[in-house]
A = this chain, B = another copy of it.
Amino acid sequence: MDSTTTLSDLRDAVDHFVGARNWYQYHTPKNLAMSIAIEAAEIMEHFQWREVGESSEAMKDPTLRAEVADEVADVLIYCLSFANATGIDLSEAIYKKLARNEQRFPISTTNGKLGE
């Protein structure tokens, strides 16, 4: 579905969910920042004791895969809520950041090395 779903489609779905429950009162930047971090930690729980390479293998298991997709969705839902609560345009922010990273990590010198 990613090829046909826009960021606004997802923002609208989250907006409807939050609004219908009268939850915008809790959706301040501070609370949502905590929420994003809490859900990010739940993704990590699935890989806490695994070897780095094994974590790729492990994702072939359909049960783990579904659980992890669910946690990644939670992080994204709170990011979409953050955008709705603050009016940030996410696509614009992402493209801007990628453009800046293109400058910071030139292809010619970076190839396979991690930059700072």
Binding site secondary structure of chain A:
helix
Q: How many residues of A contact B (CB 8 A)?
A: 83
Looking at the complex, which one of B22, B45, B74 makes contact with A112 (CB distance below 8 Å)? B22
CA distance A11 to B4 in the complex (A): 12
Q: Is the CB of B48 within 8 A of A28?
A: no
Nearest CB in chain B to that of A97: its residue: B73
Copies in the complex: 4
A-B contact pairs, 10 of them (CB 8 A): A1-B7, A1-B95, A2-B89, A13-B98, A31-B55, A33-B46, A34-B34, A65-B88, A76-B79, A80-B94
- CB of A37 within 8 A of CB of B43, answer yes
Which 9 residue pairs of A and B lie closest in terms of their CB atoms, listed nearest first? A41-B41, A30-B55, A2-B7, A5-B91, A22-B112, A73-B93, A1-B91, A30-B47, A37-B40
Once the chains are docked, how many angstroms separate the CA of A59 from the CA of B8? 21
Check A112–B37 contact: CB distance below 8 A: no
